[in-house]
């Protein structure tokens, strides 16, 4: 049962034509600055509605409406002398921020439903960003609903210099498509997104220019990936590693390596999780989903950088063949690991893929992503991912990129003292260090598989990959967090200018 990808709203940009405002069906939106000064489009709409637009804005201003502040929307239903079913009034300043423009686009997406929409922006800036916000929020995972709503209508944005805006929007829409790809993967149920189906979807990205390799269990065994393989040995689904290559930079230049945890379902194994809420463990492949989305975005916008995306795909199930608490496994690096808790499986997957990435590709830097610990949610909630790093320059560059894209990220500490918690009596290390500083000891475990002088970031995205409430740019469920931030990092730090 392979589901079709969630379609993206089609957004086009065109020059202002006031004659279209009266005849456009669906919804019409007009963008006004906070001082409510009207451009030609607003004047025409006010004329058509016999002053209703001016009265609406004045009433909102009088009431100090939160909806008529930058990024907000107020609505006039069934506007007179217009074919549109509703008129939406968007507040944006000429000197407004990218965040406000995206917020306004998201607000429009929420009110429009599936209707066609014509947006008159005039010469107010950030039209491309408004379109991006609208597309990002206009997402719904309906692949398995028999009564799914019809596809959303098209959006036309009237703006100054539409050709330039269209060009500026193209890479943003590539990021949106990458985020949609991530969301679809994270939202999929585990009986659909098996390890084989996941690998097949990644292999299909060769159609957009990626080179994709799928390493099967025999190859992983030959490489010595005993840590990764132990996680999936209790499942009927075969464990795999998928390697995605994007070679858009100078030939021979060391790539950035992105490594993702892809546990398509996590029961906890023999250390079985409580039944309540276990259905959410379909999202435990969130790190791999983000890596896949970033690679898709880079390929679609033809990034001038060399980036390798590697994901370890496994399923953690209890069975007569499952790894047991107390077992000792050997990693690709050669270090032995005492498995104290089979529910701390993500780090067992990541450590082998990280070592493989360094051995084979000798990257310029490495970033791993994983829904790794519940402890990071206790510490940071659902607002920020945990950021752990051995390199200030790379870490600060990522934090700047995340802030630019308004994707929450907070740096957490590392330190040798935490290694004491990982000491094992019978092996080189344990896979858990107990409850204190659980997310930090997990990062310290991974750090043992980072070579000296390798710039590295570990992103614990357990709290941000999938959420129970709407966010600004996504409905509840999978968020696609990290696609925009990592794409920005590649553009700012690794891309040839």
Q: What is the pLDDT of residue 115?
A: 93
pLDDT of 37 higher than 90: no
Name the phi and psi angles at 464, rounded to 5: -120, -10
* Residue 453: HSE in the Cβ half-sphere, 13 Å Cα cutoff: 3
Q: For the residues 313-321, what does the mean pLDDT come to?
A: 98
Binned at pLDDT 50, 70 and 90, residue 57 comes out as confident
* Catalytic choice (273, 304, 400, 493): 273
pLDDT at 3 over 90: no
Query: What does the pLDDT average to over 173-190?
Result: 98
Identify the pLDDT of residue 265: 98
Mean pLDDT of the residues in the chain = 95
Q: What is the per-residue pLDDT across 286-303, written as a single tens digit (0 to 9) for each? A: 999 999 999 999 999 999
Question: Under the phi-then-psi rule, with left for phi > 0, alpha for psi from -120 to 50, and beta for the rest, what region is 349?
Answer: alpha
347 is catalytic: yes
Whole-prediction pTM? 0.97
d(CA 251, CA 81): 60
Annotated catalytic residue 273? yes
Q: What is the pLDDT of residue 66?
A: 64
Instruction: Enumerate the β-bridge partners of residue 32.
Output: 91
Instruction: Indicate if the pLDDT at residue 283 is higher than 80.
Output: yes
Asked if pLDDT for residue 1 goes beyond 60, the answer is no
Q: Work out whether strand 466-467 and strand 477-478 pair parallel, antiparallel, or are unpaired.
A: antiparallel
Report pLDDT digits (tens) over 156-168. 999 999 999 999 9
Name the least confident of 119-128, 179-188, 378-387, 443-452. Answer: 119-128
> Which residue in the list 137, 183, 240, 347 is annotated as catalytic?
347
What domains, with CATH codes, occur in the chain? 11-160 (3.40.220.10), 177-494 (3.40.630.10)
What are 318-359's pLDDT values in tens digits? Answer: 999 999 999 999 999 999 999 999 999 999 999 999 999 999
The closest of 221, 309, 331 to 260, measured between CA atoms, is 309
- Residue given tokens 């637009």 in the structure block: 53
User: What one-character DSSP code corresponds to residue 5?
Assistant: P
As given in the structure block, the two tokens for residue 135 are 């597309």
């Amino acid at each position: 049962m392979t589901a079709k990808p969630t379609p993206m709203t089609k957004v086009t940009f065109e020059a202002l034509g006031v004659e279209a405002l009266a005849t456009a069906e669906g919804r019409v939106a007009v963008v006004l600055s906070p001082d409510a000064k009207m451009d030609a489009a607003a004047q025409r709409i006010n004329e058509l509605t016999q002053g209703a637009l001016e009265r609406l804005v004045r009433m909102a201003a009088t009431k100090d409406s939160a909806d008529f502040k930058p990024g907000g929307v107020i609505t006039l239903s069934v506007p007179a002398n217009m074919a549109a079913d509703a008129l939406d009034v968007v507040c944006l300043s000429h000197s407004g921020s990218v965040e406000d423009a995206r917020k306004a686009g998201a607000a429009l997406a929420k009110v429009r439903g599936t209707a066609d929409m014509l947006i008159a922006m005039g010469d107010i800036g950030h039209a491309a960003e408004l379109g991006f916000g609208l597309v990002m929020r206009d997402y719904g995972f309906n692949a398995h609903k028999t009564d799914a709503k019809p596809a959303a209508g098209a959006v036309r944005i009237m703006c100054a210099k539409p050709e330039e805006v269209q060009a500026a929007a193209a890479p943003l829409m590539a990021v949106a498509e990458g985020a949609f790809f991530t969301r679809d993967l994270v939202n999929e149920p585990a009986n659909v997104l098996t390890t084989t189906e996941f690998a097949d979807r990644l292999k299909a990205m060769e159609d957009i220019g990626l080179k994709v390799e799928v390493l099967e269990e025999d190859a992983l065994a030959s490489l010595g990936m005993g840590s990764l393989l132990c996680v999936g040995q209790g499942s009927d689904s075969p464990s795999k590693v998928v390697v995605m290559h994007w070679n858009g930079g100078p030939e021979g230049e060391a790539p950035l390596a992105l490594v993702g945890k892809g546990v398509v379902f996590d029961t906890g194994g023999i250390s079985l999780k409580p039944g309540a809420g276990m259905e959410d463990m379909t999202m435990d492949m969130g790190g791999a989903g983000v890596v896949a989305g970033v690679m898709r975005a880079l390929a679609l916008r033809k990034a001038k950088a060399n980036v390798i995306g590697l994901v370890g795909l496994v399923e953690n199930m209890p069975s007569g063949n499952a790894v047991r608490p107390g077992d000792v496994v050997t990693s690709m690096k050669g270090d032995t690991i005492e498995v104290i808790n089979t529910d701390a499986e993500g780090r067992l997957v990541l450590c082998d893929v990280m070592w493989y990435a360094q051995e084979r590709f000798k990257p310029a830097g490495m970033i791993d992503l994983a829904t790794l610990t519940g402890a990071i949610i206790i510490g940071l909630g659902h607002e920020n991912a945990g950021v752990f790093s051995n390199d200030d320059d790379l870490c600060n560059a990522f934090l700047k990129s995340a802030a630019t894209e308004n994707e929450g990220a907070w740096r957490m500490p590392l330190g040798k003292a935490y290694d004491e918690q990982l000491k094992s009596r019978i092996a080189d290390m344990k896979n858990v260090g107990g409850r204190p500083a659980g997310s930090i000891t997990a990062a310290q475990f991974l750090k043992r598989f980072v070579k000296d002088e390798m710039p590295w970031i570990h992103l614990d995205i357990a709290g941000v990959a999938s959420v129970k409430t709407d966010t600004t740019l996504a409905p509840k469920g999978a968020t696609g967090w990290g696609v925009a931030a990592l794409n920005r990092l590649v553009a700012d730090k690794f891309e040839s200018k």
